[in-house]
């Protein structure tokens, strides 16, 4: 591959310090670094050692200083409350400074932790930025997490203060947060000194005198706090992500490298300019929300959309089009599952005809592998580039993608694009040897990781080394399997534990899902490996059909089996698919394939804390029984967090 992208990518590998020093010019520093990359304590590399800055100042104050005070910083669009709120950079500066003053008055200082347990409202962003303003470390916990899960995070982070709201709203359901927060604090060994509660009009929470403060009153009385200069290597936040045990796994992100990388991606990857409207349709509790609802758009001087709703049902499958039209969104970033839901409800995109999407230049998808059928559907109806890209909570931004701001490369369906500058990707086999182009193996990244990636795990350096850096010495283990083709395009096919072994053949469930998703009647699908005494494992498909399909299920299943045989071969031994109403997912849209596999293999499984609707698992069990699987066990007592 030749061209501008290849030149920039190669330079990022050959001269990482020079490359990222140039990118750092986009950030205001209080003190310049001593070294761009500190290699003195591998594998704990640090970027911009010796430098000082403040992330909140870079995301808010400097835009006011530079004349953007009257530009809208945040649009809160809430179809569930029928409200839209716009907050300018100047207004945001005042709100953040006042809330930082609230935290400071409660004894929160640089390095202290603050847990934020809130719905999709601007106050959640204000709390995050308020922590960054005074050098405190925030840890956002997905609003609505059960008390047990919140308690584990309280015990691990040991926050001085917890910030919450009286309620969240899921569709038409009002979810009271305060009783869950109280229960979590009661369960936890660590007791925060205070909580600050934002009272929403739908529910008024009862406050405990002496411990709980009312957000509005405390902010009105607060003395605005000035920004506190911190080391570039100081932690900005802890974000708890999936783990295979009940022990929390807190990813740590720094201030300096994080700010540099995210600011750079807005231009280089997403091709967005300051002043434009950028919408990441995710949740603030996930890494996408941290990176691309809060920090990256504000660091770049954009307007960011905070959406409190769903892609369907609030009120219909046209809500995304309405938001794009009404707020003149330039670039949309969301999960493939959102577009699968829209496609299922409105297969011909009839609702799209009601809106003007001329402001939209590109759609980016990430969170799960984007099947080609969904990409084709979006391209056909939106008539613009639809770009899959791949990243993780641990990486903080895209590992692979299509860098629109550098050079828009040809799109390969089924690929997450090319490696982004800074990410030196390889595909290795079990013997740690690099495989040839097109062969499947473990996708890894050579150390050191670029700026913006995780520093370590909170209070668990050895766990970080064991989990991420040990199996492939000198590399970060992504946990994903796939291949890099002869053109350098990365194809992420499955998690490494989703590669199934059928009679000695290693096969990708992602490749099979790609074939199933191409069927015109299929809205979304999943493939798992089920134990088989003869072959070791055999694949089993689950498909959700598009609305309006009235053909017999058996007829569709027969066509799916034949498609796999035609496109992958008899070696796949794909002989059965189940038609189901829905697939079990996390709230972020990831399909719970591992849980489904445990159910099918009669293994005890733990109910994932992030599951969108636990009742779906009973439906999956019932579907599995229809094909003669004798299921022995159900969910265990201890909840387990799902990936991502």
Q: Rounded CA gap, 305 and 270, in Å?
A: 16
> Quick one: what percent of the chain has pLDDT higher than 70?
94
- For residues 193 and 58, membership in a common domain is answered with yes
Count of Cβ atoms closer than 10 Å to residue 559 Cβ: 15
pLDDT of residue 633: 41
Do 545 and 523 form a contact (C-beta atoms < 8 A)?
A: yes
- For residues 97 and 169, membership in a common domain is answered with yes
Of 23-37, 140-154, 321-335, the one with minimum mean pLDDT is 140-154
The yes-or-no verdict on residue 243 having pLDDT over 60 is no
- For residues 568 and 457, membership in a common domain is answered with no
Render pLDDT for 579-590 as a digit per residue (tens, 0 to 9): 999 998 877 677
The yes-or-no verdict on residue 174 having pLDDT over 90 is yes
Q: Rounded CA gap, 306 and 73, in Å?
A: 10
Asked if the structure places residue 324 within a domain, the reply is: no
- For residues 287 and 394, membership in a common domain is answered with yes
Give just the sign of the alpha carbon dihedral 97, 109, 394, 487.
positive
Where do we find the tokens 């890099």? 484
Render pLDDT for 10-19 as a digit per residue (tens, 0 to 9): 999 999 999 9
pLDDT of residue 245: 44
pLDDT of residue 625: 82
Greater model confidence, 416 or 616? 416
β-pairing verdict for 173-176 and 167-170: antiparallel
pLDDT of residue 636: 40
Asked if the structure places residue 286 within a domain, the reply is: yes
Question: Which domain, by its residues, includes 528?
Answer: 500-625
pLDDT of residue 172: 84
Based on the structure, what is the number of domains in the chain? 2
Render pLDDT for 299-347 as a digit per residue (tens, 0 to 9): 999 999 999 999 999 999 999 999 999 999 999 999 888 998 899 899 9
pLDDT of residue 599: 87
> Quick one: what percent of the chain has pLDDT higher than 90?
74
- For residues 446 and 512, membership in a common domain is answered with no
pLDDT of residue 638: 35
- For residues 539 and 593, membership in a common domain is answered with yes
Q: At what angle do helices 147-157 and 178-187 cross, to 10 degrees?
A: 50
Where do we find the tokens 């990636």? 453
pLDDT of residue 373: 86
pLDDT of residue 268: 98
Instruction: Give every CB contact of residue 171 below 8 A, 6+ residues apart in sequence.
Output: 80, 310, 313, 314
Asked if the structure places residue 637 within a domain, the reply is: no
Asked if the structure places residue 347 within a domain, the reply is: no
Asked if the structure places residue 61 within a domain, the reply is: yes
Instruction: Give the DSSP letter of residue 584.
Output: -
Range among 480-494, 590-604, 628-642 with highest mean pLDDT value: 480-494
Question: Which ranges of 492-640 does DSSP label H, i.e. alpha helix?
Answer: 509-517, 553-567, 593-600, 615-625
Q: Rounded CA gap, 450 and 457, in Å?
A: 17
Asked if the structure places residue 368 within a domain, the reply is: no
pLDDT of residue 628: 66
Q: At what angle do helices 509-517 and 372-382 cross, to 10 degrees?
A: 40
pLDDT of residue 92: 98
3-state secondary structure 65-117: HCCCCCCEEEEEEECCCCEEEEEEHHHHHHHHHHHHHHHHHCCCCCCCEEEEE
The yes-or-no verdict on residue 56 having pLDDT over 70 is yes
Span 192-208, average pLDDT: 97
Chain mean pLDDT for the chain: 91
pLDDT of residue 411: 94
Task: Return the C-alpha torsion angle 347, 539, 477, 138, nearest 10.
Answer: 50
pLDDT of residue 644: 31
Q: What is the CATH number of the domain that holds 546?
A: 3.30.300.30
Q: Rounded CA gap, 498 and 477, in Å?
A: 15
Greater model confidence, 435 or 643? 435
- For residues 473 and 507, membership in a common domain is answered with no
- For residues 230 and 107, membership in a common domain is answered with yes
Question: Which ranges of 383-535 does DSSP label H, i.e. alpha helix?
Answer: 461-464, 509-517
pLDDT of residue 634: 44
3-state secondary structure 260-304: HHHHHHHHHCCCCCCCCEEEECCCCCCHHHHHHHHHHHHHCCCEE
pLDDT of residue 642: 30
- For residues 87 and 186, membership in a common domain is answered with yes
| b/e burial code for range 244-272 (CB count within 10 A of at least 16 → b) | eeeebbbbbbbbbbbbbbbbbbbbbbbbb
- For residues 145 and 207, membership in a common domain is answered with yes
Render pLDDT for 381-407 as a digit per residue (tens, 0 to 9): 999 999 999 999 999 999 999 999 999
Span 186-191, average pLDDT: 96
Q: What is the CATH number of the domain that holds 216?
A: 3.40.50.12780
The yes-or-no verdict on residue 485 having pLDDT over 80 is yes
Asked if the structure places residue 354 within a domain, the reply is: no
Asked if the structure places residue 490 within a domain, the reply is: no
- For residues 240 and 133, membership in a common domain is answered with yes
Given 483, 516, 541, the domain boundary residue is 483
Do 174 and 203 form a contact (C-beta atoms < 8 A)?
A: yes
Render pLDDT for 61-109 as a digit per residue (tens, 0 to 9): 999 999 999 999 999 999 999 999 999 999 999 999 999 999 999 999 9
The C-alpha R_g of the chain, in whole angstroms, comes to: 24
Q: Rounded CA gap, 42 and 404, in Å?
A: 33
Span 207-229, average pLDDT: 97
Span 162-167, average pLDDT: 98
The yes-or-no verdict on residue 502 having pLDDT over 80 is no
- For residues 510 and 471, membership in a common domain is answered with no
């Amino acid at each position: 591959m030749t061209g501008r992208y290849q030149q920039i990518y190669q330079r990022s590998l050959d001269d990482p310090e020079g490359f990222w020093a140039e990118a750092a010019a986009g950030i205001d520093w209080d003190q310049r670094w001593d070294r761009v990359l500190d290699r003195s304590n591998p594998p704990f590399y640090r970027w911009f050692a010796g430098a000082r800055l403040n992330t909140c100042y870079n995301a808010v104050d400097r835009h006011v200083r530079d004349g953007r005070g009257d530009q809208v910083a945040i649009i809160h669009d809430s179809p569930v409350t029928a409200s839209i709120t716009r907050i300018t950079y100047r207004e945001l500066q005042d709100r953040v400074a006042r809330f930082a003053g609230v935290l400071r008055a409660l004894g929160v200082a640089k390095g202290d932790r603050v847990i934020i347990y809130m719905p999709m409202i601007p106050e959640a962003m204000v709390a995050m930025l308020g922590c960054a303003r005074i050098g405190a470390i925030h840890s956002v916990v997905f609003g609505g997490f059960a008390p047990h899960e919140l308690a584990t995070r309280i015990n691990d982070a040991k926050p001085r203060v917890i910030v919450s709201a009286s309620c969240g709203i899921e569709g038409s359901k009002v979810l009271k947060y305060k009783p869950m927060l109280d229960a979590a604090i009661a369960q936890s060994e660590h007791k925060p000194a205070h909580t600050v509660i934002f009272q929403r009009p739908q529910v008024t929470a009862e406050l405990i005198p002496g411990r709980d403060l009312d957000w509005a009153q405390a902010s009105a009385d607060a003395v605005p706090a000035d920004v506190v200069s911190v080391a570039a290597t100081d932690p900005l936040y802890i974000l708890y992500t999936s783990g295979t045990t009940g022990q929390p796994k807190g990813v740590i992100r720094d201030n300096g490298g994080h700010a540099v990388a995210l600011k750079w991606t807005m231009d280089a990857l997403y091709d967005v300019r300051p002043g434009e409207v950028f919408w990441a349709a995710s949740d603030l509790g996930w890494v996408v929300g941290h990176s691309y609802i809060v920090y990256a758009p504000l660091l770049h001087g954009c307007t960011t959309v905070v959406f409190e709703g769903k892609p369907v049902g609030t009120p219909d499958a046209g809500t995304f089009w309405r938001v794009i039209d009404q707020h003149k969104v330039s670039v949309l970033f969301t999960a493939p599952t959102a577009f699968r839901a829209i496609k299922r409800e409105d297969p011909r995109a009839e609702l799209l005809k009601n809106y003007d999407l001329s402001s939209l230049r590109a759609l980016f998808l990430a969170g799960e592998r984007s099947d080609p059928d969904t990409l084709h559907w979006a391209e056909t109806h939106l008539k613009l580039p639809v770009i899959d890209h791949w990243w993780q909570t641990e990486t903080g931004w895209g590992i692979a993608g299509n860098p629109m701001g550098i050079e828009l490369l040809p799109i390969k369906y089924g690929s997450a694009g090319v490696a982004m500058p800074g990410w030196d990707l390889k595909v290795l086999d079990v013997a740690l040897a690099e495989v040839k182009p097109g062969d499947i193996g473990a996708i890894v990244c050579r150390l050191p990781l670029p700026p913006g990636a995780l520093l370590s795990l909170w209070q668990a350096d050895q766990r970080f080394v064991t989990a991420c850096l040990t199996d492939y010495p000198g590399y970060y283990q992504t946990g994903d399997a796939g291949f890099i083709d002869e053109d350098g395009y990365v194809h992420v096919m499955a998690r490494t534990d989703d590669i199934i072994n059928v009679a000695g053949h290693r096969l990708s469930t992602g490749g099979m899902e790609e074939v199933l998703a191409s069927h015109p009647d299929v809205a979304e699908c999943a493939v798992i490996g089920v134990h088989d005494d003869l072959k070791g494992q055999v694949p089993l498909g689950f498909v959700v059909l598009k609305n309006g399909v009235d053909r017999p299920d058996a007829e569709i299943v027969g066509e799916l089996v034949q498609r796999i045989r035609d496109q992958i071969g008899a070696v796949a031994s794909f002989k059965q698919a189940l038609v189901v109403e829905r697939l079990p997912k996390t709230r972020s849209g990831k399909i719970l394939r591992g849980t489904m596999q445990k159910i099918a293999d009669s293994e005890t499984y733990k109910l994932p804390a992030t599951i969108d609707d636990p009742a779906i698992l009973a439906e999956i069990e019932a579907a599995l029984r229809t094909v003669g699987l004798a299921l022995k066990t159900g969910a265990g007592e201890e909840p387990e967090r799902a990936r991502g």
